[in-house]
Amino acid sequence: MERVPLESSWISSAGYDAAVRELEVETLAGAVYRYLAVPPEEYAALLAAESHGRYLNLRIKPRYGYRRVSPCP
């Protein structure tokens, strides 16, 4: 999944696969998480948010299941 870099104190990049409605987030530490069944408007809102980390913590994490794709290096 292709990710775009974000200016954040916690998130390095984020990407979205519309075909399967999955949001992928890479942390600055290098861990990658994939959030499941995320609507495309949530991804757009994450990219547009003033604070990407705050949006992720308040809007994405409590509502969508996730799995860790890669560990921290």
- Structure confidence at residue 73 as a pLDDT band (50, 70, 90): low
The set of residues, in sequence order, having a beta carbon less than 8 Å from that of 9 and lying 6+ positions away, is 28, 53
Give the tens place of pLDDT for each residue, 11-42: 999 999 999 999 999 999 999 999 999 999 99
* SS3 assignment, position 61: coil
Select the more confidently predicted residue: 29 or 71.
29
Residue 70 predicted with pLDDT over 90: no
Which phi and psi angles does 67 have, rounded to 5°?
-140, 150
The count of structural domains within the chain is: 1
Band the pLDDT of 44: cuts 50, 70, 90.
very high
Kindly tell me if the per-residue pLDDT of 71 is higher than 90. Answer: no
What is the span of the domain harbouring residue 15?
Answer: 3-70
